[in-house]
Structure 1
C-alpha cells in the first residue's frame, strides 16, 4: 500500500470514535439517511456479497474474491453521483449536431514510452486534433467543436487482472455469494457502523 493512502477516507470519518453509531443511537434519522450511510460503510466489504473466481487450470486451487460495491449515490467510492453529474455536464456542453468518432492508435513499439510518461498522451491528443483541423481547413471546412481524450487500453496494463498469479492460467467466474439486501443493511446498521475498515 502506498504511504499516505487511506482507503475509503469517508468511511473512516464516519466510524472514528463511533460518531455514526452515536447518531444512530440518538435516533431521529430518516430511513433513507440510514440506508445511504450504511451502504457506504458496507461498500467494498463482504457484507454486500462477493464474486468468486477460480483458476481455469484444474490442478491449481487459486481462488480470488471480488467484493460488491454499493452503487449508492452517496458513496464517494462508487462515484455514482459524480458520474451522473459529469455525464449531465458533458451532454449540456456538447452541441446538438452530427459528430464523428475517430480513433488514433499508436504502434506497440511506442507503448513503453507512454506507459512511463503518461503526461505525453495529452500532447499526442492535441497534435492529433491540430492535424485534423489543419486538414479540414485545407479542404475549406471549419469544424465548430472538438472533443479529444486519451484512453489507455488493456495492452498498457502490466498484467491481466484475471491471470492466475500461481500458474498463469485464466481466472474464471465460479459463483456469487449473496450479501445483505437493503432491509438487511438497515436492520444491521448499528453493527455495520461498529466495524472498522475491512479490506476486501
Structure 2
C-alpha cells in the first residue's frame, strides 16, 4: 500500500525541484538537511521497508503491504504526528485549567 503524496512532497518532486536545487547548492547544504529531505521523499514508499500481511486463509491470495514511515520531524506527516503526541503528553502532565502557557528556554548558542 502506497500513501497519497503530501502537497510538500509533490511540490519538491515536480520538475525535480529538490534535485535541481541540491545540484546547484550541493556544497552549501548541510548533510542533516540532505538526510531529512531524502527521508521525506522516501516516506511511505517501499524503499523505506514495509510489513507484508497475508490473509489467514491459506487459499486466499490477498496480500497487503504497509510501508514504513521516515519518522523525521521535518516530514509533514511524521512531524505532525510527533508534535500531536508531544502536545497530548504535555497536556496530560499539566493541571486542567482554562488556559495553559508553556515557556521554552533557548540555548544562547541559537541566538
TM-score (normalizing by structure 1): 0.41
Residues of 2 paired with 1:63 and 1:10: CA distance?
Answer: 30
Residues of 1 paired with 2:89 and 2:66: CA distance?
Answer: 30
Conserved 8 A contact 1:72-1:80: no
Residues of 1 paired with 2:90 and 2:15: CA distance?
Answer: 38
Residues of 2 paired with 1:36 and 1:69: CA distance?
Answer: 12
For the pair 1:73 / 2:73, whether they are aligned, the reply is yes
Residues of 1 paired with 2:32 and 2:85: CA distance?
Answer: 19
Measure how far apart 1:83 and its partner are: 2.4
Aligned pair in 2 of structure 1 residues 81, 58: CA closer, same or farther (>3 Å)? closer
Q: Which runs of 5+ in 2 are unaligned?
A: 99-111
Instruction: Give the total of aligned pairs.
Output: 92
Aligned to 1:117: none
TM-score (normalizing by structure 2): 0.70
Measure how far apart 1:13 and its partner are: 1.2
Aligned to 1:16: 14
Question: Residue by residue, what CA displacement relative to the aligned partner does 1:126-175 show, whole Å, maximum 9, x if unpaired?
Answer: xxxxxxxxxxxxxxxxxx759xxxxxxxxxxxxxxxxxxxxxxxxxxxxx
Conserved 8 A contact 1:74-1:81: no
Measure how far apart 1:58 and its partner are: 1.2
For the pair 1:50 / 2:40, whether they are aligned, the reply is no
Aligned to 1:86: 87
Conserved 8 A contact 1:71-1:80: no
Residues of 2 paired with 1:84 and 1:60: CA distance?
Answer: 37
